[in-house]
Chains A and B, each alone.
Chain A
Amino acid sequence: MNISSFLKNENVILNIKSKTKDKALEEVVNKIDLSKEKKELVLLSLKQREVLGTTGIGNGIAIPHARSVVLNKLCLYVGLSTSGIEYDSMDGKPVHILFLIIAPPLDTSNQYLILLGKIASLSKKLVKKKDYLKVAGEEDLINLIKKYESDMEDEL
């Protein structure tokens, strides 16, 4: 299972305008092709997850993730913020790259945790090189993610 297989151009937001965690989550959730009611439920589930512990894992990375009964398949979004989002991260630093994952309550193949693990390692590599901030378009970012993914597979 590849991270990039979940990403299409419309799942990439090159410049998140919001400066706070709640607003940034809302901005990304608004991109999901769902009714207003369902979007609200997805957003609430993400906010509930934040209460259980921040998903800002430090070094400018946030991986908000939650389960929601309104979606029947896993969905992934990636967003960038050059100026940074105040996220209540573990190291107190603003977030520059955000991966948002929503999964149905029951995924029999447990894609959710596997994907979460892959994204956590990939994002740490991306941040180290900092080249993700220089991408010119949505496709560029997806290609960069693909490149890092294949490097990670080579390392195994």
Chain B
Amino acid sequence: MNSQLQIVIQLSDLDTQLEELKNVRIKDKEESLGFKVQAKEAEIKKFRDSLRKKIAPDMLSQYDRILKRYKMRVVAQVNDGVCYGCFMALPTSYVSESDRNNKIITCPNCGRILFWIE
């Protein structure tokens, strides 16, 4: 797996969880089940910044553009040739098998960064 992709996935998973817990319905649901959702802002910022520092500047600005647009799920899975960000089928010859997860590839339709589930 591309090492930049690996960090981008971490950041995307973190941003997705942060955004989800900003959703009042989800936060309320978790709290009603007994979970304490009390983000330690400083700790999260430190954690998030440490991930962002590991990402190349061009890649990071691309990430931020996608995040700005969708707020979460910057990285989307590809299942059976379908982008699970926008549910469009990718063109069959879009990416060679050897490039999957070894290069940063975005969905031609929604622009999200793609991760192939084998």
Chain A interface residues (CB < 8 Å from chain B): 37, 41, 44-45, 48-49, 51-55, 57-58, 63, 66-72, 90, 104-106, 113, 116-117, 120
Contact = CB atoms under 8 A, between A and B. Distances in A.
Given A45-B17, A52-B21, A72-B77, A90 B36 contact: yes
Contacts of A113: 26, 29
Contacts of A70: 9, 115, 117
A44 B11 CA distance: 10
B43 to A, nearest CB: 6
Contacts of B36: 53-54, 90
B34 A120 contact: yes
Contacts, number: 91
Nearest to A44: B10
Contacts of A117: 29, 33
B79 interface: yes
Interface string B4-30: 001001101110111011000010011
A53 B38 CA distance: 5
Which of A49, A55, A69, A117 has the most chain B CB within a 10 Å cutoff?
A69
Contacts of A104: 77, 84
B88 interface: no
A-B pairs with lowest CB-CB distance, top 7 = A57-B34, A120-B33, A53-B37, A45-B13, A72-B117, A53-B36, A48-B14
